[in-house]
């Protein structure tokens, strides 16, 4: 049952491919720090390869490539296959939202000659990790006149950055005795944005100066925060990690590493596949896949109905057959075994950095609660596909029994009665502002998703 380290299997030429893929992925990560930016990148990459908006395609035929854009925050890509959809399709699904802090609707205030933006954190974070870091703002401001302004501050080398302060160690005796979950309180995650009062303004002059800058740069008034979605994320680019450059440190590997692997796998399919291939990039996974852009919304099912209609194949019964006959890899990151925290893992069933794409038969917490537990028969079939495709893979579960748990979008697609299994890339420091993956695992994930899409 020993799994091989992928790096030991690469010859020179293949190792170069691994490194080149890592470089391309880093560009995707740097350009896609929010779900909106990831959707834009996905469209940019796929339109170059001939994908068109499904809404603009009147009819469809085998070989066509289309995308479905859901409110600019979730996207699906399809390659129409030779078989009718009612026989089922092959789906890879990941999420493109990541843990962060969101700016509140009434955020701007001044205290002691400093101006702040108040935030509400999004997803599961260790709050103490988000202080004393250079942070950037990414998002949109939707104005009353219908215009939408893009905001990105803190990424250009010449841009200013923002951040949350922490108490100096000299005065931290009481703070250091607190539990880690409350050592930094959620309401204390306020971002410092200014410290220079506007001359000739008496009331809140620092805030007034910040508002003047926002007006000048983005044409926005304070009230426009009411209809803004601005995310606070770590500022700066992803980097090669390790003296051997075998890894990448970056913001949002969860789950953009799987999202990128899926897009790359779709782009590598240049033939017309037997079964229709689908790549889902969902929003809101980190808060339970809720809302109109989360996986629980019916955009996947609706897109399938539209596609069947444009193929001249639609009926309610055929749609239901298409959904239940489909096969899916729910692609999400897994906890990488961390020798510094070995006690939280069970080593025989842990994912190791460098040992390839990881399959999780089940996730969940306690007695597998909330888990999509994949069928043995399905895993048997996947083993054959992976071995035939020379994919290096491992199997794991998320930590030791009863230590914790987690979930993905797998259970939502399983509601249609299709076969689903979790599969992804192992991450160190998952959900931290800067997470770490191995380039080899990304490379094996692309291989795995490609052979799955073509051969499942």
Q: Of 35 and 332, which CB lies nearer to Mn ion in the complex structure?
A: 332
Q: Of 63 and 124, which CB lies nearer to Mn ion in the complex structure?
A: 124
316-324 vs 299-310: helix crossing angle, rounded to 10: 120
What's the closest the beta carbon of residue 330 comes to Mn ion, in angstroms?
10
The residues binding Mn ion (CB under 5 A) are 254-255, 332
Dist. CA 50–CA 26, nearest whole Å: 23
Dist. CA 263–CA 77, nearest whole Å: 8
Q: What is the DSSP string of 43-74?
A: HHHHHTTT-EEGGG-SS--TT-EEEEEETTTE
Residue found by looking up tokens 């009411």 in the block? 226
Q: Of 60 and 331, which CB lies nearer to Mn ion in the complex structure?
A: 331
What's the closest the beta carbon of residue 258 comes to Mn ion, in angstroms?
8
Q: Of 35 and 255, which CB lies nearer to Mn ion in the complex structure?
A: 255
Q: Of 42 and 210, which CB lies nearer to Mn ion in the complex structure?
A: 42
What's the closest the beta carbon of residue 425 comes to Mn ion, in angstroms?
10
Q: Of 284 and 327, which CB lies nearer to Mn ion in the complex structure?
A: 284
- Residue 107 has which token pair? 């955020």
Other beta carbons less than 10 A from residue 42's beta carbon: 27
Are the C-beta atoms of residues 165 and 188 closer than 8 Å to each other? Answer: no
What's the closest the beta carbon of residue 407 comes to Mn ion, in angstroms?
9
Other beta carbons less than 10 A from residue 262's beta carbon: 28
- Residue 110 has which token pair? 């001044």
Q: Of 86 and 332, which CB lies nearer to Mn ion in the complex structure?
A: 332
Other beta carbons less than 10 A from residue 313's beta carbon: 15
Residue 168 burial (C-beta neighbours within 10 Å; 0-12, 13-18, 19+): exposed
Q: Of 255 and 444, which CB lies nearer to Mn ion in the complex structure?
A: 255
What's the closest the beta carbon of residue 341 comes to Mn ion, in angstroms?
17
What's the closest the beta carbon of residue 431 comes to Mn ion, in angstroms?
6
What's the closest the beta carbon of residue 99 comes to Mn ion, in angstroms?
7
Q: Could you tell me the sign of the dihedral formed by the alpha carbons of 399, 402, 407, 410, in that order? A: positive
Long-range contacts of 379-388 (CB under 8 A, 24+ apart): 379/421, 381/456, 382/421, 382/452, 382/456, 385/451, 385/452, 385/455, 385/456, 386/448, 386/451, 388/451, 388/455
What's the closest the beta carbon of residue 408 comes to Mn ion, in angstroms?
6
Is 331 strand, coil or helix? strand
Q: Of 231 and 332, which CB lies nearer to Mn ion in the complex structure?
A: 332
What's the closest the beta carbon of residue 122 comes to Mn ion, in angstroms?
11
Q: Of 190 and 254, which CB lies nearer to Mn ion in the complex structure?
A: 254
Q: Of 88 and 424, which CB lies nearer to Mn ion in the complex structure?
A: 424
What's the closest the beta carbon of residue 439 comes to Mn ion, in angstroms?
19
What's the closest the beta carbon of residue 15 comes to Mn ion, in angstroms?
28
Residue 33, C-beta contacts closer than 8 angstroms, at least 6 positions apart:
136, 138, 155, 231, 233, 251, 252
Are the C-beta atoms of residues 364 and 399 closer than 8 Å to each other? Answer: no
Cα-Cα end-to-end distance for the chain: 24
- Residue 215 has which token pair? 């007006």
Are the C-beta atoms of residues 393 and 4 closer than 8 Å to each other? Answer: no
């Amino acid at each position: 049952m020993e799994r091989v380290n992928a790096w030991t299997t690469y010859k020179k030429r293949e190792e170069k491919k691994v490194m080149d893929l890592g470089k391309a992925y880093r560009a995707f990560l740097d350009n896609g720090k929010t779900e909106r930016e990831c959707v834009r990148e996905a469209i940019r990459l796929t339109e170059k390869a001939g994908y068109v908006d499904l809404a603009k395609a009147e009819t469809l035929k085998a070989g066509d490539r289309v995308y479905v854009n859901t409110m600019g925050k979730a996207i699906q890509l399809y390659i129409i296959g030779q078989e009718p959809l009612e026989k089922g399709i092959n789906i890879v699904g990941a999420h493109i939202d990541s843990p962060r802090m969101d700016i509140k609707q009434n955020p701007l205030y001044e205290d002691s000659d400093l101006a702040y933006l108040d935030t509400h954190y999004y997803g599961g974070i260790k709050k103490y990790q988000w202080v004393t870091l250079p942070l950037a703002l990414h998002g949109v401001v939707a104005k009353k006149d219908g215009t939408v302004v893009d905001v990105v501050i803190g990424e250009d080398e010449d841009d200013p950055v923002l951040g949350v302060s922490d108490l100096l160690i000299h005065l931290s005796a009481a703070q250091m005795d607190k539990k880690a979950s409350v050592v930094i309180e959620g309401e204390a995650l306020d971002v410092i944005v200014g410290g220079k009062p506007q001359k000739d303004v008496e009331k809140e002059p620092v805030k007034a100066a910040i508002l003047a800058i926002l007006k000048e740069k983005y044409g926005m008034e304070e009230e426009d925060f009411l209809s803004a979605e601005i995310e606070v994320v770590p500022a700066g680019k992803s980097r090669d990690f390790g003296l051997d450059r075998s890894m990448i440190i970056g913001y949002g590997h969860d789950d953009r590493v799987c999202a990128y692997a899926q897009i790359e796998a779709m782009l590598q399919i240049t033939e017309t596949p037997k079964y229709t291939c689908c790549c889902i990039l969902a929003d809101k996974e980190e808060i339970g896949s809720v809302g109109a852009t989360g996986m629980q919304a019916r955009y996947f099912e609706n897109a399938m109905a539209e596609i069947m209609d444009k193929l001249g194949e639609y009926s309610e019964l055929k749609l239901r057959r298409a959904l239940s006959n489909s096969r899916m890899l729910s692609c999400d990151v897994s906890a990488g075994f961390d020798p510094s925290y070995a006690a939280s893992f069970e080593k025989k069933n842990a994912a190791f950095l460098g040992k390839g794409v990881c399959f999780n038969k089940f996730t969940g917490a306690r007695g597998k609660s909330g888990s999509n537990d994949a069928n043995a028969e399905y895993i048997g079939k996947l083993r054959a596909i992976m071995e035939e495709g020379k994919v290096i893979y491992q199997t794991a579960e998320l930590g030791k029994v009863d230590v914790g748990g987690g979930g993905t979008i797998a259970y939502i697609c399983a509601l249609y009665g299709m076969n689903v299994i979790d599969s992804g890339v192992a991450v160190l420091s998952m959900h931290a502002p800067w997470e770490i993956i191995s380039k080899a695992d990304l490379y094996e994930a692309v291989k795995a998703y490609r052979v799955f899409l073509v051969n499942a």
